Amino acid sequence: MQDNLRLLFIGDIVGKPGRSAVKTLLPGLIDKLKIDFIIANGENAAGGFGITEKVAKELFQQRIHVLTTGNHVWDKKEDISYIAKEPHILRPFNYPPGVPGQGSIIYELNGLKIGVINLAGRVFMTPVDCPFRTGLAEVERISEITKIIIVDIHAEATSEKIALGYYLDGKVSAVIGTHTHVQTADERILPGGTAYITDVGMTGPLDSIIGIEVPQIIERFLYQMPKKFEVAKGRTVFSAVVVDVNTKTGLARSIQRLYLTGQ
């Protein structure tokens, strides 16, 4: 069994520009960086809000193994039944009991078992169950099967994400933040051996306000009136992190940010 797993985690894919950036850049990155396993947050991949069966299949064709989501997971209501039955698309694990879909997966890759857990934060977000208690319980369950566990914490508050990172330090391979669409420069290995970053950032239109056309967002702030949001066009950005994991201990060896801009 290989002693190192190289993981690529792609930040929130926004609309067609984000999908195009993935299609253009991912094949070269896989070869250049010798990537073994790919996770991407896809909750904004379909028109900037939600995910559909067609879009998910398009992303899986790009060799993405697992798609995580967040608070926009149900925005495309016509595809709830697909998300509910597709094990490689995760919705936040700490949603209330009875919510469709699954919040974690144990993925088998060439004989190696990899756990992925999707959690949602509660600060400035829609109320959900406690990500700390529910997350730890699922970590403990999965750790009976594999030591390699990746956590996507989809949350607004920096403090909540950092707190979860330390709470799970030494128990998981990586805690990776999503949701704000702005990449942070605080990637590091925590004292217990868990790779951490507050937000991996966005993969989508660069000349935008978190993926949306600039005038539309400015107008919303100026007038506080309802406004239809559209995914911006133009140059793209590809935001991700590369994490090396010791497959024997499940702890991280390194974490590196990627921030690639294109045409």
Per-residue pLDDT of 23-52, as tens digits, reads: 999 999 999 999 999 999 999 999 999 999
pLDDT band at 262 (very low <50, low <70, confident <90, very high): confident
Task: Summarize the confidence of residues 212-220 as an average pLDDT.
Answer: 96
| pLDDT (tens digit per residue) in 167-190 | 999 999 999 999 999 999 999 999
pLDDT band at 8 (very low <50, low <70, confident <90, very high): very high
pLDDT at 2: 85
Q: Which of 22, 54, 53, 51 is nearest to 38 (CA)?
A: 22
pLDDT at 226: 87
pLDDT at 227: 84
pLDDT at 1: 64
pLDDT band at 263 (very low <50, low <70, confident <90, very high): low
pLDDT at 174: 98
pLDDT at 90: 98
Asked whether residue 22 carries a pLDDT value surpassing 90, the answer given is yes
| pLDDT (tens digit per residue) in 133-173 | 999 999 999 999 999 999 999 999 999 999 999 999 999 99
Q: Which of 65, 72, 179, 181 is catalytic?
A: 72
| pLDDT (tens digit per residue) in 73-110 | 999 999 999 999 999 999 999 999 999 999 999 999 99
Task: Summarize the confidence of residues 189-202 as an average pLDDT.
Answer: 98
pTM for the full model?
0.96
pLDDT band at 256 (very low <50, low <70, confident <90, very high): very high
Mean residue pLDDT across the chain: 96
Q: Is 72 a catalytic residue?
A: yes
Task: Summarize the confidence of residues 126-138 as an average pLDDT.
Answer: 97
